[in-house]
Chain A
């Protein structure tokens, strides 16, 4: 991938992180930085997609990146107010994994294994071209139509009734790059998929940790 595309990809990741951070959504207890960032990225992607959807519904469209970000930030702040979430990255409540959260060596190895798998998947997604029939027949086709028009339009696919979040996220990346390419648009998925995997793993950790604290077979999991 050329430098401009990589910059657009990084910018989208940073925007989603910022919007997610602004929403104040956080894990119930302490979480190390990757889990917090993953949650912010996922929630930021969703809220940005929601902003695109709202702007499309009212007829303004989402061609203007700054406008979408402003609306996304407003929705994020509203989320913060409604949920009463006030934790941010600046809060001393959150720490890096190595600082305050006590992590057993076996768990540390598991996290490193997950990180290695996600890195490998990300690298592969950058070098392997899109080959999915569904990507060409509707997901990528819709994303192309959305990116070219800045609106949610009828792309004449056979699955127009599918919810528009997936193509909206792909179109968002395209808008940053300034051109449409199915191989480039699919690169939102290492971000979203990686964040989802980390959130899922952290969720499992929280669930297991809760049982461990309650004394349910806790010794079996090396929970702290």
Chain B
């Protein structure tokens, strides 16, 4: 008897929660992650060969990501993806790119990085290919 009553109690609670969550059916849809880079995607597919690898420098700290990394990873498959935080210094990133054989760096919005950041100044070992003023690809040249 008590098992039956307990089971019914769980079912009733479940039903109440389900009813309360019916609002999910009518909520405004969320935007896909990294939607701000959608216009850039075909440019990136053209510039980065399918067998190449690329790096994405996450502009914010952990917990402040916009979902652009996962979006790039999906949209640019089968290109090899890797990412680092913007706080990583240029030398470390260069060593990583060499060891992982990554030839490109995707910059979806340069304004998200500090003014003096190496990504915005395009160091000599990288060649810049522009899509827009703040959207470009950096290719390793040396």
Contact = CB atoms under 8 A, between A and B. Distances in A.
Interface residues of A, number: 26
Nearest to B80: A156
Contact of B74 (A128, A131, A144): A144
Contacts of B69: 137
Interface in A108-140: 117, 120-121, 124, 128-131, 133-134, 136-137, 140
Given A216-B4, A217-B1, A133 B67 contact: yes
B49 interface: no
Interface in B33-63: 33-34
Interface in A6-52: none
B78 A129 contact: no
Contacts of B78: 145, 148
Interface string B87-112: 00000000000000000000000000
A155 interface: yes
A136 B4 contact: no
B4 A217 contact: yes
Contacts of B7: 207
A128 B24 CA distance: 12
A182 to B, nearest CB: 7
Interface of B: 1, 4-5, 7, 11, 22, 25, 29-34, 67, 69-71, 73-74, 77-78, 80-81
Nearest 5 pairs of A and B residues by beta carbon: A137-B70, A131-B30, A136-B70, A136-B74, A128-B29
28 contacts: A117-B22, A120-B25, A129-B29, A131-B32, A133-B67, A136-B32, A136-B33, A136-B67, A136-B70, A136-B71, A136-B73, A136-B74, A137-B70, A137-B73, A137-B74, A140-B74, A141-B73, A141-B74, A141-B77, A144-B74, A144-B77, A155-B77, A207-B7, A211-B4, A216-B1, A217-B1, A217-B4, A217-B5
